[in-house]
Amino acid sequence: MVYVEGFIVAVPVANKAAYVEHATKLAPMLKECGVQRMVECWGDDVPDGKVTDFRRSVQAKEGEIVVFAWFEYPSRRARDTANETMRNDPRMQPQNQVIPFDTKRMIFSGFEAIVEEGTPGKRGYVDGFVVPVPKGKKEAYREFAARFAPLFREYGATRVVEAWGDDVTAGKVTDFFRTVQATPDETVVYSWIEWNSKSERDVAWKKLMADERMKPDHANTPFDGKRMIYGGFTPIIDL
């Protein structure tokens, strides 16, 4: 299964074109370093939550949108090697780039895929999630996620990935732990569902919510759903 470097970024709406240009310029260098797939998704259907949400995760300001993005690697070792290469590459240094967002509020960490169903489809639509899960419930969560992944595929999802927090770093301003108010005995799961289009996703979710197999079993759910964050995103880069 893939190893994932997951990101959440607050980007000024006015800087969308600059953000796409910035990421597109980096793509060839990232490929040189070993990134197998780079996906950047622009916030489209990102709701405000009562306890946690994507906007709060990066302290998004008025006029900013949330970007949900990830890099895919064949292994943790490949990711670590790539990061070391990036740190030593002058082309990747912040002072040599025009960065169209506040890097101090960007969140990023490493995640190990524990469920991976399907293959990447066309650049369509993405549902993104971040979930707090007790560290001792890794297998329970994997079984929970593995049970529902085929159901999403049945209703048209092209790919489902659930990635367990493996190298989750604490930040000075923002981080994945704060994103979902994780407690010391919890880690974070970074996951997404890929669809061919937003319209197919919208139809699928209506059918999923009416499916008896999707009814929640709160007594056996291995995480606190009230602190899970989720949203719909439009891919702007998929390389």
Structure tokens at 197: 């289009």
Which residue matches tokens 């995760």? 57
Which residue matches tokens 């992944």? 149
Residue 220 is predicted with a pLDDT of 86
| 50: exposed, middle or buried (Cβ count in 10 Å: 0-12, 13-18, 19+) | exposed
Q: pTM of the entire structure?
A: 0.96
Tell whether the model's pLDDT for residue 219 goes beyond 90. Answer: no
Question: What's the topology of domain 3-238?
Answer: Alpha-Beta Plaits (3.30.70)
| 116: exposed, middle or buried (Cβ count in 10 Å: 0-12, 13-18, 19+) | middle
Residue 80 is predicted with a pLDDT of 97
Residue 212 is predicted with a pLDDT of 94
Query: Using one digit for the tens of pLDDT, what is the confidence trace for 191-200?
Result: 999 999 999 9
Tell whether the model's pLDDT for residue 123 goes beyond 90. Answer: no
Q: How does the average pLDDT of the chain come out, rounded?
A: 95
Residues in CB range of 24: below 8 A, 6 or more apart: 237, 239
Percent of the chain with pLDDT over 90: 90
Residue ranges of domains in the chain? 3-238
Tell whether the model's pLDDT for residue 121 goes beyond 90. Answer: no
The CA-atom distances, in angstroms, between 216 and each of 30, 45, 134, 208, 220 are: 40, 23, 19, 12, 9
At residue 4, what is the residue type?
V
